[in-house]
Amino acid sequence: MIHQYQLGGYNIVLDVYSGSVHVVDEVAYDIIAMYETHTPDEISAAICGKYAADGITAEDVSECLEDIEELKNAGKLFTEDKYKNKVIDFKKRSTSVKALCLHVAHTCNLNCEYCFAAQGKYHGERAVMSFEVGKAALDFLIKNSGNHVNLEVDFFGGEPLMNFDVVKQLVAYARSVEGQYGKNFRFTLTTNGMLVDDDVIEFANRECHNVVMSLDGRREIHDASRRDYMNNGSYDKIVPKFQKWAKAREGREYYMRGTFTHANVDFTNDIFHMADLGFDKLSMEPVVSAPGTPYALTEEDLPKLFEQYEILATEMLRREKEGRPITFYHYMLDLSHGPCIYKRIAGCGSGTEYFAVTPTGDLYPCHQFVGDEKYKMGDVWNGVTNFDLRTDFMSCNVYARRECDDCFAKLYCSGGCAANAYHATGSISGVYEYGCKLFRKRIECAIMMKVAQAEMGTSDTVFAEDATESCDDCDSCVEFE
Amino acid sequence: MKRIRTLETRDLAKSVKNGGCGECQTSCQSACKTSCGVANQKCENTKK
């Protein structure tokens, strides 16, 4: 399967199952479009007719057809799906746990209008996690992690810094035991910034692999949604703290993460505002909400959002040329050394390798299912006890969704978010089509940027000298039979 | 090739053999928390 599109002045051909990306001229673009449905003579007649003024001859067409055939034989174009039936028996999929989202505080000091977690309470009572519950969660993770070395723990909420002492105690505990079990904990802290101080910054820079700071962009946009319980906007309180923190990260990973809604469909202005504040690692996500709410994204918003993603890509390339690059989470494709086919098929791992833990120690498939009792999977003392549910999530992959069969982006999203699918369709094996449309646009933009960066020489990804040769990035490259 | 340029990319078909070690980051743990994208992650297979 291939996907052809024109963007940023490039004619791009993506070969879905090999992951190959080709940049072609107009003639080759048209020939490739006809290749599988027309004879060589038909193609030649059509192309010579269309490009007569450019002097394109039958010989030119024939030469291009030979190149296409060569790429096809090299497994770089028109490749078939070799994975569906041969690669993974999902019923035998590992159930080793790798990551936990620790809800250390089901409470929040902000009262954001669009919060999917219902102001941090997840439709329940306000609560904070005790050290004992958190310790049991870390023990559960270690015990069930199998051969995984890198274990990921996200301190999440509500607002996790409302329970900062427990966060520090849990990190100290994890560090005290990771060596003896041969594990490496990677911590992430997700925060709204209200309680950030020098102590938090020093701690996070020492212990946290990643920090996610919540900021929605322009002051008026941010403060319209992210207000405290006295109805005051939070922008002026958090921005100076985040600026200090981002600078102090000194190259360590962080993301400035925003949410856009129907109120700021022109969300690139918020991204550029964040960039102008000095933040260079940026993420901006569409709001998760029920249809009909005032801030929910609409069908009418879609064309504007597509345009915004193109504007973002163009502006990012411009800033890169000027020597002041920014990164955008969804445009960070690693085409050279990115994830293997297993990862691309299996998805996010919710309910199998990834769980959310509530303040009382209950396990849920991910943070977006917390509070929905029928998705409770067990607890940190007894482990997973709802095996039927785990089987449902084990089976939740790109091949579980017929809607994904013909989608060019399926090996980039691995079938999409189970929680989004559930909220949109009532089934975790459903498809959140609105999200799919945005995702496909982002992937098109991201691949176009890789092409442009290859031309500029600013990317690890370069043009192949011999397109028919396979990558030699690793010893594990063994021909699939 | 005269009309076609190709980026050097990881051959997904070849990643079948020794892929699947599971050491790469769980996708939702990074920054999004509300969608699913895997292609922006780095392979962390130390055996390759």
Give the pLDDT confidence of B22-44 residue by residue, as tens digits: 888 887 777 777 777 777 778 88
pLDDT (average), residues B6-11:
92
Of chain A residues 251-280, which have a CB less than 8 A from chain B? 255, 257
Domain assignments of chain A as residue spans, ordered by start: 2-80
Q: How far is A469 from chain B (nearest CA, A)?
A: 9
Size of interface A-B (CB pairs under 8 A): 268
A189-212, pLDDT tens digit by residue? Answer: 999 999 999 999 999 999 999 999
Q: Give chain B positions within 8 Å (CB) of A63.
A: 2
Would you call B5 and A368 a contact, using CB atoms and an 8 Å cutoff? Answer: no
Q: Give chain A positions within 8 Å (CB) of B5.
A: 22-24, 463, 467
Q: Give chain B positions within 8 Å (CB) of A87.
A: 16
Q: Which residues are CB-neighbours of A174 under 8 A, at least 6 positions away?
A: A138, A153, A185, A187
pLDDT of residue A116: 85
A196 and A161 Cβ atoms separated by less than 8 Å: yes
Lookup: tokens for A218:
């322009």
Q: Rounded distance, CA A43 to CA A195, Å?
A: 65
Q: How many CB atoms lie within 10 A of CB A50?
A: 13
Q: Give chain B positions within 8 Å (CB) of A334.
A: 39-43
Would you call B38 and A348 a contact, using CB atoms and an 8 Å cutoff? Answer: yes
pLDDT of residue A311: 98
Would you call B13 and A82 a contact, using CB atoms and an 8 Å cutoff? Answer: yes
- Burial degree of A327 (CB within 10 A; 0-12, 13-18, 19+): middle
Which H/E stretch holds residue A304?
A: helix A302-321
User: Closest to B39 (Cβ–Cβ): which among A87, A150, A339?
Assistant: A339
Report which of A204, A434, A425, A402 is spatially closest to residue A306, judged by C-alpha positions: A434
Q: Give chain A positions within 8 Å (CB) of B16.
A: 82-83, 87, 340-342, 480
pTM: 0.94
Would you call A24 and B5 a contact, using CB atoms and an 8 Å cutoff? Answer: yes
Q: Using CA atoms in the order A141, A146, A151, A156, what is the torsion angle rounded to 10 degrees? A: -30
Chain A residue with Cα closest to B17 = A478
Q: How far is B37 from chain A (nearest CA, A)?
A: 4
- Percent of chain A past pLDDT 90, that is, above it, reads 82
Structure ipTM: 0.92
Q: How many CB atoms lie within 10 A of CB A202?
A: 11
Q: What is the pLDDT along chain A (481 residues), one digit of tens a residue?
A: 999 999 999 999 999 999 999 999 999 999 999 999 999 999 999 999 999 999 999 999 999 999 999 999 999 999 999 888 765 565 566 789 999 999 999 999 999 988 888 888 898 999 999 999 999 999 999 999 999 999 999 999 999 999 999 999 999 999 999 999 999 999 999 999 999 999 999 999 999 999 999 999 999 999 999 999 999 999 999 999 999 999 999 989 999 999 999 999 999 999 999 999 999 999 999 998 888 889 999 999 999 999 999 999 999 999 999 999 999 999 999 898 888 888 888 888 899 999 999 999 999 999 999 999 999 999 999 999 999 999 999 888 888 888 999 999 999 998 889 999 999 999 999 999 999 999 999 999 999 999 999 999 998 889 998 888 876 545 444 333 3
Would you call B47 and A333 a contact, using CB atoms and an 8 Å cutoff? Answer: no
A103-117, pLDDT tens digit by residue? Answer: 999 999 999 988 888
Tokens 């940026």 correspond to A282
Q: Rounded distance, CA A314 to CA A316, Å?
A: 5
Would you call A349 and B11 a contact, using CB atoms and an 8 Å cutoff? Answer: no
Angstrom CA distances, A163 to A128, A213, B31, stand at 7, 17, 21
- Burial degree of A300 (CB within 10 A; 0-12, 13-18, 19+): exposed
Q: How far is B25 from chain A (nearest CA, A)?
A: 8
The amino acid sitting at A345 is I
Residue of A156, A476, A480 best to disrupt the B interface, most CBs of B under 10 A:
A476
Strands of A55-145, DSSP E: 99-106, 127-128
pLDDT of residue A472: 57
Q: Give chain A positions within 8 Å (CB) of B43.
A: 334, 337-340
Would you call A473 and B37 a contact, using CB atoms and an 8 Å cutoff? Answer: no
Q: How far is CA A362 from the centre of its chain?
A: 26
Interstrand relation of A255-260 and A208-214 (parallel, antiparallel or unpaired): parallel
